[in-house]
């Protein structure tokens, strides 16, 4: 490493400022800390579930600048100056569920709950995209997140039910 490179990039820790669930937070992190570990260990957002740490399971999904990403496949330093939403962003008050959360509860769209925060965020993204989908399309759209319990049927039901709640009672789109 040249002297100038060392001066600019030699540090193993850096301060990052990230807008997390609407609030700016600044922390010093190791440059090799993943975004998932940063959210869990530094910010106590333990809804970010770390399953496989190599992008297979999707349980660490968060919204990064509004787009779903696997937070185990990003570094915390890459979030500096960006916005991250975890499932905590859906409802500020734990006693009041977001319509998507209500739908998952009503349809039993979960069993062990490990994939649920990721599924809820992905559902929000699917519904925000505005397009009504068939059950088969929903199944395809959530395929990046593995659920080992439900067999997906109730999750698909929950996504459709949440879509109907948020779009209004006339929404159809079932197979």
Partner 1 sequence: MKPPPFTYCDPESVDEAVGLKSEYGADSLVLAGGQSLLPLLNMRLVRPEALIDINKIGDLQKIEGRSDILEVGAGVRQYELEDHALVGELVPLLPEAAGYIGHIETRHRGTVCGSLAHADPAAELPCTAVTLDATVVARSPSGTRTIEAQHFFQGRMATALEPEEVLVAVRYPVTPQAAGHGFVEVARRVGDLALAGAAAVVNLDENGHFTSVSVGVSGISDTPVRARAVENALIGEAPTEENITRAADEIVPSVTAGDDIHATRAYRRHLATVVVRRAITAAVASAHERSDGK
Minimum distance, C-beta of residue 125 to partner 1, in the bound complex (Å):
8
Q: Which is nearer to partner 1, 78 or 111 (CB)?
A: 78
Q: How far is it, in rounded angstroms, from Cα 60 to Cα 52?
A: 9
The phi, psi pair for 16, rounded to 5°, reads -125, 145
Minimum distance, C-beta of residue 150 to partner 1, in the bound complex (Å):
16
Token reading at 28: 């010093």
Verify binding: residue 1, partner 1, rule CB under 8 A. Answer: yes
Number of residues binding to partner 1, judged by CB under 8 A: 35
Verify binding: residue 34, partner 1, rule CB under 8 A. Answer: yes
Nearest to 58 by CA among 78, 75, 73, 46: 73
Q: How far is it, in rounded angstroms, from Cα 108 to Cα 59?
A: 18
Nearest to 43 by CA among 22, 59, 58: 22
Q: How far is it, in rounded angstroms, from Cα 34 to Cα 92?
A: 25
Verify binding: residue 5, partner 1, rule CB under 8 A. Answer: yes
* In contact, 72 and 34? CB cutoff 8 Å: yes
Q: Find the part of the chain contacting partner 1 (CB under 8 A) among 97-105, 108-116, 142-150, 156-164.
A: 142-150
Token reading at 71: 């937070």
Minimum distance, C-beta of residue 117 to partner 1, in the bound complex (Å):
13
Verify binding: residue 41, partner 1, rule CB under 8 A. Answer: no
Verify binding: residue 10, partner 1, rule CB under 8 A. Answer: yes
The phi, psi pair for 153, rounded to 5°, reads -60, -45
Pattern 50-89, binding to partner 1, x per CB under 8 A? ---xxx--x--x--x--xxxx-xxxx-xx-----------
List residues near partner 1 by CB under 8 A: 1-2, 5, 8-10, 12, 14, 31-34, 37, 53-55, 58, 61, 64, 67-70, 72-75, 77-78, 122, 140-141, 143-145
């Amino acid at each position: 490493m040249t002297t100038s490179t060392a001066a600019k990039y030699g540090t193993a820790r850096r301060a990052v400022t990230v807008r997390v669930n609407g609030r700016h937070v600044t922390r010093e992190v190791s440059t090799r800390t993943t975004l998932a570990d940063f959210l869990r260990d530094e910010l106590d957002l333990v809804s970010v579930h770390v399953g496989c740490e190599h992008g297979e399971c999707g349980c660490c999904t968060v919204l990064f600048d509004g787009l779903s990403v696997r937070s185990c496949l990003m570094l915390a330093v890459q979030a500096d100056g960006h916005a991250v939403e975890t499932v905590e962003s859906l409802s500020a008050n734990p006693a009041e569920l977001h319509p998507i959360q209500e739908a998952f509860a009503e349809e039993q769209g979960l069993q062990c709950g490990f994939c649920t925060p990721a599924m809820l965020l992905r559902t929000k993204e699917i519904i925000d995209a505005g397009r009504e989908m068939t059950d088969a399309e929903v199944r395809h759209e959530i395929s990046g997140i593995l659920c080992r319990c439900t067999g997906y049927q109730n999750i698909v039901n929950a996504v459709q039910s949440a879509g109907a709640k948020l779009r209004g009672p006339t929404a159809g789109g079932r197979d």
